[in-house]
Structure 1
Amino acid sequence: MLATSEQQAIAKAFLAARAAKTPLTDYPGAMPQGLAEAYAIQDSAIAFDGRPVGGWKVGRIADELVARFGGHRIAGPIFANEIVDAADGAVPAMPVYGGGFAAAEAEVLLRFGDVGTREYDIASVRDAIDEIRTGIEIASSPFPGINKHGPAVTASDYGNNKGLVLGPRIADWQDADLIAMPVEFRIDGERIGAATMETMLDGPFGSALFLIRALRARGIAIPPGTWVSAGAITGVHEIRPGQDAEALFDGKIRVSCKITG
């Protein structure tokens, strides 16, 4: 759907707040009530922003809201200049919006190869993936209530994304039991979350399949090399500048970052 002038104004307000790192006490306009409205705002913001998109985050819609919003997931862009490769063990500084909302999430990251125009299902979507890594998604918005008003509001501001840390690769992922892989998350060395991907609906490949279908419906191309941040595994862990985040996959693969303002 084409954005209305009011939806374009909301997109510009979020862009201005992000650029100035200024908190938004209130949502800058009428809150979207459905995902079509949310994506109209998001698409406008992407166009006004002008930066290339290097990937997409996928977030889960709460079970009690699935019927209302007609699906289980939302998507938001991850800009190429906010994707940091830390596969060598580096600990990058990842900025968030002080005074807004900020969180970090342990996620598996899938990289698309040549998606093409074929139709996929949950089994064949693996053919579209050419690499899988461990990682941390940085979720942040100038609007502190970004996650308190339902998935449409979250989706409207880039899906509440502010960056992605690419950790080490998962070797032989084609044969690995990703769903059963244990994952832990720590902030300042304290373990605050632990889970497996069994909690993720139909898992990371389900997220990839959703994204292909969702982006095609929006008329958005998926070039080779596009990343998919497949969804929070251990939870959405609120965090603040000065803290350290670390995700541990399979008891041996670590990826870390330092949160800055």
Structure 2
Amino acid sequence: MPPTNEQENVARALITARTEKTPLTSYPGVMPQTMADAYAIQDAAIALDGRRIGGWKVGRIAADLVDHFGDNRLAGPIFTDEIFDASMGERPAMPVYADGFAAAEAEVLLCLGDVGTRDYDIDSVRACITEVRTGIEIASSPFVAINQNGPAVTASDYGNNKGLVLGPAIVGWQDIDLIRMPVEVFIDGASVGAATMETMLDGPFGAAQFLIRTLRARGIAIAPGTWVSTGAITGIHEIRPSQRADALFDGKIRVGCTISGY
């Protein structure tokens, strides 16, 4: 269904805050109470924004909220001009909203090929994945309390995404037990979290299956080459401008970035 006037006004206010780098101390309108309402605002914002989407972030919905919201994950767009390749050891400067919310998250990134029209399960979805990389998702919003008001609010503002760092590829991923791969995150050289993908529901391939299903339901085409940032492995690590973030996968694959601020 098309967005209501109220949803369009919220989308416009969120876009304006992002474009003008204006902090939001309160949500700019009626907070969405369902994922359908959240995606209506998100779709309106995408249309107003006009930039090309190069990927999608997938985030987890807390277990105690799954029944209310009808799913265990949420999605948000990642725009092409906010995706940076750091596969050769580069350390891109990733901007965040200094007076809003900002975090860095270690994630496995999947590149989708032609997904076609078939239905996928957790095993068959692997067939449409052309590359797997390490990476860091930058989460940031002008609304400082974005993560304190439930997943629908988070989803409404691009899923709280502000960019993606593409790290080195995981070579031979088809034959690796990704779920048990150790991952550690460092902020300014200090370890802030370590885990494996066993904490991520049904893992990165489950995130890809969720995204394909969700975007189809919203009538959004998935172009070959679309990246999927599959979810925070070690947690959501808040970060500020001038700090640096690093993620270490399998004890040997490293990706990093610095943080700049608006």
How does the TM-score come out when normalised to structure 1? 1.00
Deviation at 1:2, TM superposition (A): 1.3
Map of 1:234 onto structure 2: 234
Which residue matches 1:210? 210
Partner in structure 2 of residue 64 of structure 1: 64
1:42 and 2:38 are equivalent in the alignment? no
Equivalents in 2 of 1:118, 1:17: separation in Å? 39
Count, aligned residues: 261
The runs of at least 4 aligned residues of structure 1 exceeding 2 Å deviation read: none
Q: Distance in 1 between matches of 2:14 and 2:259?
A: 21
Q: CA offsets, 1:138-183, max 9 Å, x none?
A: 0000000100000000000000000000000000000011000000
Q: What residue identity is the alignment partner of 1:65?
A: L
Instruction: For structure 1, list consecutive stretches of 5 or more residues without a partner in the other structure.
Output: none
Aligned position for 1:251: 251
> SS in structure 1 opposite 2:103?
strand
Deviation (angstroms), 1:69: 0.4
SS of alignment partner, residue 18 of structure 2: helix
Matches within 5 A, 1:55-204: 55-204=55-204
Give, as a single letter, the amino acid of the residue that structure 2 aligns with 1:104: A
Matched residue, 2:9: 9
In structure 2, C-alpha distance between the alignment counterparts of 1:5 and 1:97, rounded to whole Å: 27
Q: What is the root-mean-square deviation of aligned Cα atoms in Å?
A: 0.4
Q: Tell me, what secondary structure is at the counterpart of 1:186?
A: strand
Q: Which amino acid aligns with 2:37?
A: E
Provide the rounded CA distance (Å) in 2 between the counterparts of 1:36 and 1:72. Answer: 14
Equivalent position of 1:18 in the other structure = 18
Cα distance in 1 for partners of 2:22, 2:98 equals 8
Consecutive unaligned residues of structure 2, counting only runs of 5 or more, are none
Deviation at residue 128 of structure 1 after TM alignment = 0.9
SS in 2 for 1:215: helix
| Residue 119 of structure 1, CA deviation | 1.1
Give the distance between the partners of 1:14 and 1:100, measured in 2 at CA. 12
TM-score by length of 2: 0.99
The letter of the residue matching 1:254 is R
Percent identical pairs in the alignment equals 73
